[in-house]
Chains A and B, each alone.
Chain A
Amino acid sequence: MPSNDSCAPLIALRDLHLSFADTRVLRGIDLDVQRGQAVSIIGPSGSGKSTLLRCITGLLRPQRGQIRVGDTAVHELRSDAEFIALRKRVGFVFQQYNLFPHLSVLENLTIAPCKVLGRERREAQDEARRLLGKVRLEHKEHAYPGELSGGQQQRVAIARALAMRPELILFDEVTSALDPETVGEVLRTIRELIEEGMTCVLVTHEMRFAEEISDAVYFTEHGVIVEHGSPRQLFNEPRSPRTRAFLQHALGRGERERRPLVPAGAAAR
């Protein structure tokens, strides 16, 4: 098979199947992400989006199918060392932030570079401070996660992933647990990353954001990709009636949330 390195995808999933006991969560997923792209995955709750991201970084093992991240065949990895080598290259940001509560913000950012990458402490701290500046939290380096707002914690979590200098970052509904006021500050951080050329895979319920920043959007339901395409095509002219129904529902809700200033009487008509 002829393959050209410059256009071989950074992530390629082929016919991914995964079940938990009797529940078939992934039922044949194909997905490609080119280097430097931002790809969004949308779909109803329980459709297997988080499971998909966990497979990419080797936190879950599919029963069938292939996962390639660059030159690594993730589905063939066996040893801890191989998985660690993969995870050094793949950042992961969780819905619930999952910062380490016993460490200060700065330590949260330096612990993995020091212990996993063996970086010099000083160097790691300088880099951490630079990243905190990037997510606009330079004044919080000595705070503990419990003292920060949700949006601040999530930005620290993004900085923590960046501190490993990953090739790509997976975002799993990173704004779903946030107050509406703080969603914006996190989306802004992600947008800046994408503009700098970081490869990003985002599972998100923020349809407007996905439409604006994505190079490609995948719609999944019941463990299969129903449809994928450019954001313009998928959001404006969805081919599948399933996609149309989902978008109608999701955008309808989004519109309502986005107009909090409209008086209740006016909205009710």
Chain B
Amino acid sequence: MATELSLGSRAAPDRLRRHAGKILALAALLVWLAAGAPPREVFAPLWEWSPALLKGFALNILISLLAIGLGTLLGLAIGALNLSPLRLLRLPGWLWVQAFRNAPLLVLIYFTTYVFPFEIRVAGHYLPFPDWLKVTLGLALPASANVAEVFRGAVASIPATQWEAARSLGFGRGQILRAIILPQCCKRMLPPWMNLYAVITMGTALASLVGVHDLIDTAQIATNTVNRVGFTVLIYASVLGLFFAYCYPISRFTRYLERRHAFQ
């Protein structure tokens, strides 16, 4: 009990010291804002605009979640195709991965935005196909290619001796994949997969370029409307802060998982 307490009290100043840099930076920003700009003129419109900004950011998050979900499903399917012993089945998967991993995100977003129609006909009904959904597809394509690659890397990282041991026990190829290899892959895939999610989330900022009313687009409208330098700086700092607040915990958690994996 006593040792636990002393450990706890020693940890607190340690943590303070570790975060001292960040706290100082935050304080400096506040001081700069307070000194360099008349606060009321700047903060009042920010308060006014904040619901719209948050709504925009919610769209960014929605796009990122749908894109990673779709990309993961597609990527795992393609990854499975790439494991096939038949060359003919592996070829399309290989092409897919190469094409979408090596294309800039923005090009893919333009591509999906202008290639697909604004509505699609399903069973006699015209369903709207809004731009934000097209952007989601544009991000899901590279996500799927990267997931397929992460999957391939994870499978390749399982030592050949695991295959050999399973084969010597009479397992067939499919059984080895399902019972021995893939369960060991999941843990290895999680950190790179979360990394990918962070990249995709930041990629949603490009949605504003094709007219989706996301966080960036809302910020642009706000700056044009208010038209004051201090406000412009503040609003983009807030945009940065929002993305950071969302992505930083993800990357910290990824680091934690990687470290835990490394020590096993």
Chain B nearest Cβ from A37, distance in angstroms: 21
Q: Is B161 in contact with A96, judged by CB distance below 8 angstroms?
A: yes
Give the secondary structure class of B's interface. helix
A102 and B184 in contact (CB under 8 A), knowing A96-B161, A111-B179, A115-B175?
yes
Q: Is B167 in contact with A116, judged by CB distance below 8 angstroms?
A: no
Chain A residues contacting B264 (CB-CB under 8 Å) are 146
Interface size class of A (residues with CB under 8 A): 20 to 34
Is B110's beta carbon under 8 Å from chain A? no
Scoring A residues 68 to 108 as 1 if CB is less than 8 Å from chain B, else 0, what string do you get? 00000000000010001001101110101011111000000
Q: Is A116 in contact with B170, judged by CB distance below 8 angstroms?
A: yes
Q: How many A-B residue pairs have CB under 8 A?
A: 54
Chain B nearest Cβ from A97, distance in angstroms: 9
A94 and B165 in contact (CB under 8 A), knowing A80-B172, A101-B184, A115-B171?
yes
Chain A nearest Cβ from B84, distance in angstroms: 15
Is A164's beta carbon under 8 Å from chain B? yes
Task: Please give me the residue from chain A that is nearest to B186 by CB atom.
Answer: A102
CA distance A161 to B165 in the complex (A): 10
Residues facing A in B154-202 (CB within 8 A) are 161-162, 164-173, 175, 179-180, 183-184, 187
A87 and B180 in contact (CB under 8 A), knowing A98-B161, A146-B264?
no
CA distance A87 to B162 in the complex (A): 16
Chain B nearest Cβ from A60, distance in angstroms: 10
Q: Is A98 in contact with B170, judged by CB distance below 8 angstroms?
A: no
A160 and B169 in contact (CB under 8 A), knowing A98-B164, A101-B184, A115-B179?
yes
Q: 16 A–B contact pairs at CB < 8 A?
A: A57-B168, A59-B167, A80-B172, A87-B168, A87-B170, A91-B168, A92-B165, A92-B169, A94-B161, A98-B164, A98-B165, A100-B162, A100-B184, A112-B169, A115-B175, A161-B169
Q: Which A residues form the contact surface with B (CB < 8 A)? A: 57, 59, 80, 84, 87-88, 90-92, 94, 96, 98-102, 111-112, 115-117, 146, 160-161, 164
Q: Which B residues form the contact surface with A (CB < 8 A)? A: 161-162, 164-173, 175, 179-180, 183-184, 187, 264
User: 20 additional contacts, CB 8 Å, given A87-B170, A94-B165?
Assistant: A59-B167, A59-B168, A80-B172, A84-B170, A90-B168, A91-B168, A92-B169, A94-B164, A98-B165, A100-B162, A100-B166, A112-B169, A112-B171, A115-B171, A115-B175, A115-B179, A116-B175, A146-B264, A160-B169, A161-B169
